[in-house]
């Protein structure tokens, strides 16, 4: 009994403390969401009608998630993102450079013209780097982080590139003993280094901090400028072309299979670059054998195996487990959105297409997504970025499920588009009202399915198409095998995003920028160009039909 009493007292105390903390947090610039705007107590506020009530008022109408939409609105307008008072800060306060710190200035005259001199100062506890040309351009680097980042032969295995020590071996009181500028970067020696690095060698352990890392710290460079297997980093180098039927018809390339397969061939990199730029490229003169799709795919990266197998065949068959394996019309969609993550690259090799119909259809889904993104802050368009659409597959002992927004993004802006009506699952709990989502979804569907948006091409035996499944929507017209006289047979395979981007990160310097032009691609640049495009006026017109208050 005594134990139970103490437990009850502890629970009561914990509840009281939690309530006090909640009140304190709400007092810091926020208002409890359940409080009426006039400050009424909860017990006196009026009960709101149920959302499904026959009487729908402005108060009961669907409203976007305010915090998320405010962030998206600021991103769409190019404004700063503000942390709330209760948010945890990720940044240390800036430290003044001590008077006793050792100092020097380094200027690489052979480096990029836009990079001026760098001021360096250091004590045993901190390394200060400063760009004199930038306001507030000083950064403080900590010895422990520097020590953990060392890439010398003692700290990284020469053959594998992997660490030879664990981060937890670094002493808490590690400090800086000496800092010296060189052509390649800052040479640093440490006080209280990892003991075994001091004991087991005659040569003193020296770390090199590359100037690239200094530039990143000073924000002279962004992470997109570094050759990383990240989509934004790759696209910054290659550029992106958003397209409609006319543009892709003029610019899509059909590259010879034999040239693509050659080692060290420019044709190979042209395929990679076109997938990045357009999301779509063709190969021609592909040998008609079942292993051709494997050779093409593995020339780029490893195959992303799925429950369909390492490769798959697209042809009509009875009792099809996938709507793609029928002869009917297949609307624009993306593959395997019920997997997490879905594959990025799809490879389809045409073995036979002698039937009537069966033309392949493609539409630039990302173009439409980016054109609509500025409007998701509007009440009527917000469901495109807030309503979870379920995708599901459950056949032959397999069961996959995922839910996705049509337009996905964050405070930094648009990131992804997801659209696959044939493979939508059912709402497991059908209490959700999808009416507010249907209207903006119809706008999205009308834009991707517009006749001027669709690239239509009837593939022939020996053709192979490679496309970005996370950007380009695909489908096909119905076909007629003419009583068995004709046939349509495609062999397919997938590549995962991380594997494709790993390869794309190695596009030779100069070749990646060959078609891009002088200006590096950024999401902001893409949004600005689309806003000035011939498509934007049409998008505004369609959105205004739903929301007349929209401004251009």
Residues 431 and 336 in one domain: yes
Distance CA 46, CA 358 (A): 59
Nearest to 239 by CA among 468, 526, 469, 529: 526
Reference 441, options 516, 510, 542; nearest CA is 542
DSSP state of 503: H
Tell me what percent of the residues of the chain surpass a pLDDT of 90: 58
For residue 294, give the CATH number of its domain: 3.60.130.10
* Domain boundary residue, one of 201, 221, 241: 221
Domain holding 113: CATH number?
3.30.2020.30
Residues 317 and 372 in one domain: yes
Strands (E), 56-133: 102-106, 118-122, 127-130
Instruction: Indicate the angle between helix axes 292-300 and 266-277, nearest 10 degrees.
Output: 80
Query: Quick one: 125 and 161 in the same domain?
Result: yes
User: Which distant-in-sequence residues (6+ apart) come within 8 Å of 536 by Cβ?
Assistant: 371, 530, 552
Cα dihedral 35, 38, 44, 46 in deg (nearest 10) = -80
SS3 category, 523: helix
The answer to whether residues 185 and 277 belong to one domain is no
pLDDT score recorded for residue 101: 86
CA–CA distance, 369 with 372 (Å, rounded to integer): 5
Tell which of 189, 221, 253 closes a domain: 221
CA distances from 66 to 71, 82, 91, 379, 540 (A): 9, 14, 26, 10, 23
> If residue 14 lies in a helix (H) or strand (E), which one and from where to where?
helix 2-27
The pLDDT, as a whole number, for residue 98 is 85
Q: Is residue 54 part of a domain?
A: no
My answer on whether 325 and 471 are in the same domain is yes
- Claim to verify: residue 531 and residue 390 sit in the same structural domain: yes
pLDDT of residue 74: 52
Residue 377: which of 69, 33, 67, 31 has the closest Cα? 69
Name which of 381, 387, 379, 378 is nearest 447 in CA terms.
381
Do the domain assignments include residue 7?
no
Give the number of domains in the chain: 2
In-domain check, residue 451: yes
Sign of the alpha-carbon torsion through 173, 177, 179, 182: negative
pLDDT at 80: 41
- Please tell me the distance from the alpha carbon of residue 495 to that of residue 264, in angstroms, as a whole number: 21
CA–CA distances in Å: residue 207 to residues 152, 154, 218, 244, 507: 6, 10, 20, 51, 29
Would you state the pLDDT for residue 143? 94
Q: Domain containing 296: what range? A: 231-546
Task: Tell me what pLDDT residue 216 has.
Answer: 82
How far out from the chain centre does Cα 315 lie?
32
| Co-location of 205 and 298 in the same domain | no
- Distances in Å between the Cα of 436 and the Cα atoms of 254, 388, 410, 426, 540 are 43, 12, 21, 17, 19
- The b-or-e profile of 341-353 (16+ CB within 10 A means b, else e) is ebbbbbbbbbbeb
Cα–Cα distance for residue pair 269/234, rounded to 1 Å: 13
Looking at the fold, whether 176 and 316 belong to one and the same domain comes out as no
370 and 502 together in one domain:
yes
How far, in Å, CA of 170 to CA of 150, rounded?
12
For 52-102, the pLDDT digits (tens) are 333 344 444 444 455 455 555 555 554 444 444 333 334 445 677 888 889
Whether 340 is in a domain gets the answer yes
In a domain, 73, yes or no: no
User: Are both 466 and 536 inside the same structural domain?
Assistant: yes
Give domain status of residue 147, yes or no: yes
Separation between Cα atoms, residue 114 and residue 282, nearest integer Å:
40
Which residue stretches of the chain have pLDDT < 70? 1-94, 109-115, 136, 200-202, 222-229, 317-325, 482-485
- Candidates 438, 439, 381, 434; CA nearest to 407 is 381
Out of 199, 221, 243, a domain closes at: 221
Give this prediction's pTM. 0.75
Shared-domain flag, residues 356 and 423: yes
240 and 129 fall within a common domain: no
Record the tokens describing residue 415, joined without a space: 């990131």
> Residue 83 domain-assigned?
no
Q: Does a structural domain hold residue 36? A: no
Alpha helices in 116-238 (DSSP H): 143-148, 195-199, 211-217, 231-238
């Amino acid at each position: 009994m005594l134990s139970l009493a103490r437990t009850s007292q502890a629970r009561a105390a914990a509840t009281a403390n939690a309530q006090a903390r909640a009140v304190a947090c709400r007092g810091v610039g926020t208002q409890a969401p359940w409080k009426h705007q006039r400050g009424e107590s909860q017990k006196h506020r009026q009960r709101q009608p149920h959302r499904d009530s026959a009487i729908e008022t402005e108060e009961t109408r669907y409203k976007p998630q305010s915090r998320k939409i405010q962030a998206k609105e600021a991103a769409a307008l190019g404004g700063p993102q503000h942390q709330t008072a209760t948010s945890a800060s990720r940044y240390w306060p800036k430290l003044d450079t001590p008077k006793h710190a050792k100092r020097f200035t380094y200027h690489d005259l052979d480096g990029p013209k836009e990079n001026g001199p760098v001021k360096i100062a250091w004590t045993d506890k901190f390394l200060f780097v400063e760009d004199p040309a930038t306001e507030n351009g000083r950064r403080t680097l900590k010895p422990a982080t520097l020590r953990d980042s060392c890439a010398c032969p003692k700290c990284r295995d020469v053959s594998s590139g992997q660490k030879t020590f664990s981060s937890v071996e670094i002493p808490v009181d590690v400090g800086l003993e000496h800092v010296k500028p060189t052509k390649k970067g800052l040479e640093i020696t440490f006080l209280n280094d990892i003991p075994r690095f001091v004991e087991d060698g005659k040569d003193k352990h020296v770390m090199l901090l590359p100037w690239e890392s200094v530039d990143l710290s000073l924000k002279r460079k962004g992470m997109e400028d570094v050759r990383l297997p990240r989509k934004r980093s790759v696209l910054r180098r290659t550029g992106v072309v958003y397209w409609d039927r006319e543009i892709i018809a003029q610019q899509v390339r059909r590259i010879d299979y034999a040239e693509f397969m050659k080692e060290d061939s420019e044709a190979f990199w042209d395929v990679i670059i076109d997938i990045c730029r357009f999301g779509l490229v063709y190969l021609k003169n592909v040998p008609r054998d079942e292993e051709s799709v494997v050779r093409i795919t593995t020339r780029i990266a490893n195959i992303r195996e799925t429950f369909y197998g390492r490769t798959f065949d697209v042809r009509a068959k009875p009792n099809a487990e996938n709507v793609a394996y029928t002869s009917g019309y297949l609307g624009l969609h993306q593959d395997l959105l019920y997997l997490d993550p879905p594959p990025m690259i799809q490879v389809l090799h045409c073995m036979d297409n002698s039937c009537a119909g069966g033309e392949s259809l493609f539409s630039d889904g990302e173009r439409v997504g980016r054109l609509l993104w500025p409007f998701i802050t509007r009440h009527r368009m917000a469901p495109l970025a807030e309503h979870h659409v379920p995708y599901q597959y459950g056949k032959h002992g397999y069961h996959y499920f995922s839910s996705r927004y049509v337009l996905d993004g964050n405070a930094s802006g648009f990131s992804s588009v997801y659209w696959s009506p044939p493979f939508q699952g059912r709402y497991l709990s059908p209490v959700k009202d999808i009416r507010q989502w249907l209207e903006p979804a119809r706008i999205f569907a009308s834009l991707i399915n517009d006749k001027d948006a669709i690239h239509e091409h009837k593939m022939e035996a020996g053709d192979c198409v490679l496309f970005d499944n996370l950007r380009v929507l695909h489908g096909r017209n119905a076909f007629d095998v003419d009583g068995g006289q004709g046939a349509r047979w495609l062999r397919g395979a997938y590549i995962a995003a991380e594997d494709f981007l790993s390869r794309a990160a190695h596009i030779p310097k100069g070749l990646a920028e060959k078609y891009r032009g002088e200006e590096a691609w950024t999401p902001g640049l893409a949004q600005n160009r689309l806003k000035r495009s011939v498509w934007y006026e049409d998008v505004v017109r369609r959105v205004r039909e739903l929301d007349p208050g929209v401004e251009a």
